[in-house]
Amino acid sequence: MLPHNFVGYVHTLFQVSSAWSLYKVLRAIGFLTITCDNTPIIERNQNYLFVSNHQSYLDVYAIFMGLKTRIIYRSCPLRFMTASSVYFSPLLPFIWLGGGFPTRRKDKTYHAVNYAIERLDLGERVVIFPEGRRSVPGTVQPHSGVTRIINGVTKPLNIILVRLHWRRTSWFRRSLHVTYKNYSGRSDQDSLMQTIYSL
């Protein structure tokens, strides 16, 4: 097994460069514009859990694409839960480099929630979409995994809620408005999602 720090550097290098370059390309071709409210302050020596709604396949990157490069760097290495059917596919090398980990493995001892807790305790950042799939407000019941992660982390944890609001401005163009909120309220999944959708 590779040293954790080396793997963390690999993830960070890929995540920062790909988030920065992806947005530059999408903006250059006129496909996407991003605006942000309440840009978060990220400290390198603190733990962060990003909790977001989910509307697009680009959402893992969309949470960070509109931020300054130094903030993206401080947010890495980043991990996010990925459906096993997507993770164990030809996209696996890119998903792994991007920080993805599967919801399930054949190994009976593996548990995605416990793995997320382990990553947070190691100082990595984790993104979770409690609804588990792309949805519009109020159409999907959020899962309890996010609550179990919050309650299971042994170190102080900063929770940042993220509201992603995508709009189609033409047949080709999209706009994205991202709102962030430092959160210290109730950690149950319903309260988290209600707060996100109220941003």
Per-residue pLDDT, averaged over 89-118, amounts to: 92
Domain ranges of the chain: 4-198
pTM here is 0.92
Q: Which candidate, 177, 171, 194, places its Cα nearest to that of 62? A: 177
Q: What is the pLDDT of residues 152-182, one digit of tens each?
A: 999 899 999 999 999 998 889 999 999 999 9
What's residue 4's pLDDT?
58
* Strands of 47-52's sheet in order across: 32-37, 174-183, 157-168, 47-52, 125-128, 78-82, 100-102
The tokens of 187 are what?
A: 């950690």
pLDDT in tens, 10-67: 889 999 999 989 999 999 999 999 999 999 989 888 899 999 999 888 899 999 998 9
Give the pLDDT confidence score for residue 122 in this predicted structure. Answer: 87
Q: Give the span between the Cα atoms of 159 and 124, in whole angstroms.
A: 13
pLDDT class of 1 with cuts at 50, 70, 90: very low
